[in-house]
Amino acid sequence: MNARNDTHSDTEDVASSESAVASDTTPTPTVELVGRTRQEEARLAVATATSLVEQGVSPSDIVITTADVDRYEDALTRATARYGHTLAVWTPLKVKRTVPYELIDATLRLLVERAQGAVNIQTLTEPLFLGWVPVTGRLEPLVPAAINEIGRGHAGTDQPIDEWQATIAAGDIEHETKQDWMAYLNWIAAQPDAPTSKDIAETLNPVLERYDDACLPENPGQRAVSELAATLRGFERTTELLRMTRRRYTRWLATSRTDKQWGVVRNLLESFATTVPGKRELPTAAAIDVKEANDLWALSVPYVIAIGLVAEEWPTTPASPVPSAARTVIETTDIDGVRPHSAWTTARACDQFEVASNTATKVFVVTRHTTDANGVEKRPSPFLEHVETTRVSKAAQQRLITEPSVIPEPLSDYFPMETDDE
């Protein structure tokens, strides 16, 4: 489909061959929409998806794709709220920023300080703010006022848990608040200083289970579905990471690679969270998937909407400390033992675009914007030069944004419409 650089890695050659095979079939019609800004482009993309859904297309038969979802997630989320639909954004999960992970990490940090001696008030209160729930008694986290009453009253204080117990017991505190705090401190005091692998599960799994029962909502409520999806996936992923941590910790203890320390447990958990963060998704047939082009390999979806087809974004400008002149020499000259780095070419981005195009079985919609946030012109992606597209008029685009119930031409030309036999 596209002209490309001859320098490919073996993996890229295979991918190119697969794309070439797919391209031998009748090409999928391509429709182009052009917005002035990234935000308008996102509205056009979501309005197009909305228009298809209004005509009876299942959301699961639509996918919005781009080279870098992070550039568009906020704009797409705002546009989706405007049209009353649901997005399922599939991007690398920032698991360390999810509340379930933060709760377990804060609990481990607390246990580390407890084992070392004095515990700072900030470390002591952090698990409570994140949703720590008592083992018995109340079935919900402490209210912020009950946490702040102690936190502000003892700002900067460091002392062992037994002294914290004495401080709270002797404090002039409302009875129920004192009970909640004492239950929390007693739980901390009951945990082992030198944990076995079994202690990891017995200490931390109940923390997650109680958080699940008390804090995880069954529906988004006022929150974006993508936010709920991140929290739910964060919960699942943190549970998985704890299992991985426990297995690794067990092996390390068995080979005397480490002593029994909560600090080692926390470091292992953080290491796994950094290297295998997982994906964020909320699988549901009622949601329109948003995926990076990388994730479309071997998929077939009737309607694919590819956004962000502007120069320097898809493809991105190659970044390298090697001067461009030197890169050109290496790319164009047969030098024994010297090959260009894959990051110097746009071949991979080209393959991703072809995969996005080949994924569409009925219509391939491409979108772009013409100016950035500073009003600087954004040129079309060079990939569009080798694709025959049919442009939607500006007037039709405006109608689509304001009233997406009617599919605009020329997109409607490729959509089977019901006709009367009269």
The DSSP annotation for 262-309 comes to HHHHHHHHHHHHHH---EE----TTSEEEEEGGGGTT--EEEEEE---
Give the Cα separation of 210 and 279 in Å (integer).
Answer: 24
CA angle 82, 86, 92 (to 5 degrees): 115
**Residues 84 and 232 both lie in one domain:** no
Tokens (6 digits) for 318: 């190659």
Give the Cα separation of 257 and 262 in Å (integer).
Answer: 15
The parent domain of residue 349 ranges over 10-92+287-414
**Residues 267 and 298 both lie in one domain:** no
Query: Is residue 43 a contact partner of residue 35, using CB atoms and an 8 Å limit?
Result: yes
Within a domain: 5: no
**Residues 254 and 139 both lie in one domain:** yes
Which are the contacts of 281, defined by CB distance < 8 A and separation ≥ 6? 88, 89, 90, 229, 233
**Residues 101 and 88 both lie in one domain:** no
Within a domain: 101: yes
**Residues 243 and 137 both lie in one domain:** yes
Residue 409 DSSP one-character state: T
**For the purposes of burial, counting CB atoms within 10 Å of the CB of 158, is it exposed (0-12), middle (13-18) or buried (19 or more)?**
middle
The phi and psi torsions of 280 (rounded to 5 degrees) equal -110, 120
**Residues 250 and 113 both lie in one domain:** yes
Which are the contacts of 287, defined by CB distance < 8 A and separation ≥ 6? 59, 86, 87, 88, 225
Domain boundary among 247, 277, 307: 277
Query: Is residue 12 a contact partner of residue 347, using CB atoms and an 8 Å limit?
Result: yes
For tokens 């709270």, what's the residue? 168
Within a domain: 150: yes
Domain boundary among 277, 295, 319: 277
Within a domain: 4: no
**Residues 161 and 126 both lie in one domain:** yes
The CA-atom distances, in angstroms, between 313 and each of 70, 227, 388 are: 12, 26, 21
Within a domain: 1: no
Tally the C-alpha atoms within 13 A of residue 294's C-alpha that lie toward its C-beta: 8
Q: Strands (DSSP E) along 154-238, which ranges? A: 158-159
**Residue-level pLDDT, tens digit, the chain, 422 residues:** 343 333 344 434 434 444 443 444 578 999 999 999 999 999 999 999 999 999 889 998 999 999 988 889 889 989 988 898 888 887 767 888 899 999 999 999 999 999 999 999 999 999 999 999 887 666 788 889 889 989 988 888 999 999 999 999 988 888 888 888 999 999 999 999 999 999 999 999 999 999 988 887 665 555 556 677 778 888 988 999 999 999 999 999 999 999 999 999 999 999 988 875 555 445 556 789 999 898 888 899 999 999 999 998 998 865 545 455 554 554 455 555 555 444 445 677 888 899 999 999 999 999 999 999 899 999 999 999 989 999 999 999 999 999 998 888 888 888 755 434 43
For helices 10-23 and 347-359, the axis angle rounded to 10 degrees is 30
**For the purposes of burial, counting CB atoms within 10 Å of the CB of 312, is it exposed (0-12), middle (13-18) or buried (19 or more)?**
exposed
Tokens (6 digits) for 365: 């919609």
**Residues 126 and 272 both lie in one domain:** yes
Give the Cα separation of 30 and 127 in Å (integer).
Answer: 52
Other C-beta atoms closer than 10 Å to the C-beta of 202 total 12
Give the Cα separation of 333 and 130 in Å (integer).
Answer: 58
Within a domain: 421: no
CATH number of the domain bearing residue 306: 3.40.50.300
Of 122, 141, 120, 139, whose CA–CA distance to 131 is shortest?
141
**Residues 172 and 88 both lie in one domain:** no
**Residues 52 and 105 both lie in one domain:** no
Within a domain: 419: no
**Residues 16 and 115 both lie in one domain:** no
The pLDDT value given to residue 342? 47
Number of folded domains in the chain? 2
Query: Is residue 307 a contact partner of residue 66, using CB atoms and an 8 Å limit?
Result: yes
Within a domain: 420: no
**Residues 208 and 343 both lie in one domain:** no
Domain boundary among 255, 277, 299: 277
> Distance between terminal CA atoms of the chain?
43
